[in-house]
Amino acid sequence: MPMLAPVLYTFRRCPYAMRARLALHTSGVPVEPREILLKDKPAALLQASPKGTVPVLVLADGLVLEQSVDIMLWALQQSDPLHWLPADHAALQDTLACIATNDGPFKQALDRYKYPARFGLDSVTTAREAATDLLMAWEQRLQKQPFLNGAHWGMLDAATAPFVRQFAHTDATWFAQQAWPRLAQWLTAFEDSAAFAAVMQKQPLWQAPAQ
């Protein structure tokens, strides 16, 4: 009997889903992508993962991975031809700590910067400054090594670049004026990459088969 491909519930513009798609793409593990709308989540997604966020990966044996970082790790543990996984335990701990900073304080500042009114803010300045402090740490890291991961692009780069991209696009003129030349180059390289183009291809919305 043919093995069923894992099912990936995804939303094209979600940065968490992008990082999962990037890792799955580099791993070469085939999945069945199911593009959904966040405002109209299919019952099958909520049944697999009642918390209702994407990405969600449902494996052939029924195991459900409902955190983007777990999906990245799973994909890269199946196959990691470009050596995206951190090289040792210490590097993995560093990667996970950096991703936690991205998903915690940076994402919090990013949301306030993008949608100040939602947070009752009159100005984006404080949020932008908070995000900038964190991005300056990336700039310093990128001045010492070509990628956040080290000598080559890796899991940490793929996990953070979609979020930095959202920040950059919120006010592209302002972003271009800041003193982060390496960060800007790193982001441009990401946006110009074949991997990014591949995972951003438009997919039709998934429709549940009629009962």
Ligand X SMILES: N[C@@H](CCC(=O)N[C@@H](CS)C(=O)NCC(=O)O)C(=O)O
Rounded to the nearest whole angstrom, what is the least distance from the CB of residue 136 to ligand X in the complex? Answer: 24
68 binds ligand X (CB under 6 A): yes
Residues contacting 143, CB < 8 A, separation 6+: 182
Q: Please, are residues 143 and 182 in contact by the beta-carbon 8 Å criterion?
A: yes
Residue placing its CB nearer to ligand X in the complex, 170 or 178? 170
The token duo for 22 is 């990037």
Residue placing its CB nearer to ligand X in the complex, 38 or 63? 38
Residue placing its CB nearer to ligand X in the complex, 54 or 168? 54
53 binds ligand X (CB under 6 A): yes
Sketch the per residue contact string, 8 through 47, with ligand X: x for CB under 6 A, - otherwise.
---x--x-x---------------------x---------
Half-sphere exposure (Cβ direction) of 7: Cα atoms closer than 13 Å:
16
Residues contacting 69, CB < 8 A, separation 6+: 19, 96, 99, 159
Interface segment toward ligand X; rule CB under 6 A; list 28-36, 48-56, 120-128, 168-176: 48-56
Binding residues for ligand X, rule CB under 6 A, total 10
> Cα(first)–Cα(last) distance of the chain, in Å?
24
Peptide bond before residue 86 is cis, with ω within 30 degrees of 0: no
Residues within the interface to ligand X (CB under 6 A): 11, 14, 16, 38, 52-55, 67-68
